Amino acid sequence: MESESTADPARHYDRGGWLVQFTGHVLVVCPRCGGCALVLPRPGLPELKHSYELLFRPRRLACRGCGAVADWKPEMRDAGLVATNPGGTEDPFFRRPLWLQTRCADQILWAYNEEHVAELSAYVGATLREHGASPTRAMIPRLPRWMKRSANRSDVLAGLETLRGLARRSAPADRSDAAHERGDRPQHYGALYFRGGPYESSR
């Protein structure tokens, strides 16, 4: 991933990485048993050239607990692939509730996977936060204000530790009471993917 923290745990330097970089694998609530299922790119696909291609990669949902399997592929429009839009408490492909959710500072704290939790922890725990050039869809500048407030730092860090613990559990009984449908998925922003790359649709 492009965002990284330095060796100093109190310092964080944001290189402008996108949230999509954490969608390589996503922990979700299984639609069959309610345990933890994993959403991954379908096997046998060509190697990624750019992280934004994760927005279009066909996906497979698989649950080791009950054996549930489902496949997802992007919508086609005018011979192009419509990008999914990451964000919110549902995964951007199957629209299942994220497994990593917890109540925190009167809000819902969520993450896609352990690497996402680690990056959020590095940022929230830093007392010195530095920013490079931030593209429009960079993750850190788009974090909600409540996560960035110094007054909430200890609560958010504790919540991230809760998510880290949830990532090591998978039984239906381990499911957080916050992990359910919330209808807060972001709107599609109209990016299409052709052989020449993505562009913003005029529609």
Domains of the chain, by residue range, sit at 4-198
117 pLDDT higher than 70: yes
User: In whole numbers, what is the pLDDT of the chain averaged over residues?
Assistant: 87
Residue 202 neighbours by CB under 8 Å, 6+ apart: none
Angle between the N-to-C axes of helices 114-124 and 153-166, in degrees from 0 to 180, rounded to the nearest 10? 160
179 touches 96 (CB < 8 A): no
101 touches 71 (CB < 8 A): no
- 55-97: pLDDT as tens digits: 889 999 999 999 999 999 998 888 788 888 899 999 999 999 9
200 pLDDT higher than 70: no
**For residue 34, what is the DSSP state?**
S
More confident residue, 27 or 192: 27
Strands 80-82 and 76-77: antiparallel
Region 175-186 average pLDDT: 88
> What is the rounded (10 degree) CA torsion for 154, 160, 161, 162?
110
**For residue 180, what is the DSSP state?**
S
**d(Cα 75, Cα 203) in Å, to the nearest integer?**
15
In this prediction the pTM is 0.87
Residue in the block written with tokens 């951007």? 92
